[in-house]
Structure 1
């Protein structure tokens, strides 16, 4: 969003850069009901330096754009693993805890009118646990084993690694099924007409989580694990 400026409305910033909601939330800047004000005015009301807030937002935007511009399928094994860990694993550890309170609030406030939001909350809790356990296992155990095997593909390492790859792909399938259910019950993340700002943020960030997870799984299943299978 190259139009980021002091006169950009807070609500427009969150629409284009959903993760900015975390910054506004920490700064106690209202991006929901009171979001139709310029960033400069919103920051000054909180006694903040508008330029400093804008700088933080631009850094967030640049970080996202830089990551999206990289094409990792041509990376070597060590670089590819580091890329997966930095872009996807680190992002999940940051995003999932930050997204949780928004989902909890929307389910609590709107779950009576839209009961499927309670199931959205359940799916998210399951996804959060499974994805964090999955990435932790990869970082601690599987990825170091892959690097060791690719550098020295001995029969012993081959037998040790094979079940891990199968198990990880099975876990990827399970995450895919949960994401499919999430998309189905939300009608392709279609917001009801009375959706508030927090409701909108939840859908935008869940859809981004879906995209990032599919990209993440593709790189592991169809690039990294394919290389392992070729060596096996």
Structure 2
């Protein structure tokens, strides 16, 4: 049962459910400096229906809960690929562009006193580009070939698939190094005492990005690709 109600403060909702920040941003509800206000009051200030806003928040919460109760390792290869694409590839295409402006804002506002944020911004830009290119290539080229090979493991397909799997694993390793560097720079996402709401949001969503990406890579490297290796 959801703990989020009309009386929950906006800042607490974002702490509990970081992706809700995108909803509040689109509705022009301040979750940062003016976030210590009940959701119903924040909605009324923007002349919005509080119940409708709460329902939108709960939809975000329900989506997260539905995804957390699934064991994809039991799926067949086609279903596993579809799951990876829907949860992780689509998730990255949605999350990375949404997170970028928050990181830019925090780097601009706090970078002078916290210069590591400027490096975090650089790494995120590189990571965003690489992950989007990587997942697009998987969707358009590699996954269809893997599924074709799993159904018809011919010598010709074997020669095509083997180097692609190796290349993808190398790209996964590089993405992991970038995420580890972000964790080191942020001291395990430890916030300074004076951190504002946007600063807190960035760390929470970077931590979630790291978690999701490592789960994503694990499913590919240690499940999907292992199934390919059995046939190689």
Give the alignment's TM-score, normalised by structure 1: 0.99
Q: Give a deviation string over 1:104-148, Cα, whole Å, max 9, x none.
A: 000000000000100000000000000000000000000000010
Matches for 1:161-172 after TM superposition, within 5 Å? 161-172=161-172
Displacement, 1:4?
A: 1.1
1:146-185 alignment to 2 at 5 Å?
146-185=146-185
Question: Are residue 202 (structure 1) and residue 202 (structure 2) matched?
Answer: yes
Q: How many residues align?
A: 232
Any idea what SS the aligned residue of 1:41 has?
helix
- Deviation of 1:2 after TM superposition, in Å, equals 1.4
Q: 1:3 and 2:38 equivalent?
A: no
Deviations 1:55-95 (A, max 9, x none): 11101100010001101001000000000000000000000
Q: Does 1:214 find its partner at 2:192?
A: no
The answer to whether residue 69 in structure 2 is matched with residue 80 in structure 1 is no
Quick one: distance in 1 between partners of 2:77 and 2:126? 30
**2:55 maps to what in 1?**
55
The offset of 1:53, in angstroms, is 0.5
Q: Could you tell me which residue of structure 2 aligns to residue 15 of structure 1?
A: 15
RMSD: 0.6
Q: Distance in 2 between matches of 1:179 and 1:45?
A: 39
1:70 is aligned to 70
DSSP-derived class of the 1:187 partner: coil
With normalisation by structure 2, the TM-score equals 0.99
Q: Say whether residues 1:113 and 2:122 are aligned partners.
A: no
Distance in 2 (CA, whole Å) between partners of 1:173 and 1:210 is 13
Indicate whether 1:126 and 2:116 are aligned. no
Counterparts of 2:182 and 2:3, CA distance in 1: 32
Mapped partners of 1:58, 1:47: distance in 2: 20
Deviations 1:145-185 (A, max 9, x none): 00100000000000011110000000000000001100001
- Partner Cα separation in structure 1 for residue 36 and residue 187 of structure 2: 28
Distance in 2 (CA, whole Å) between partners of 1:113 and 1:71 is: 43
Displacement of 1:22 after TM fit?
Answer: 0.4
Structure 1 Cα separation of the partners of residues 179 and 34 of structure 2: 32
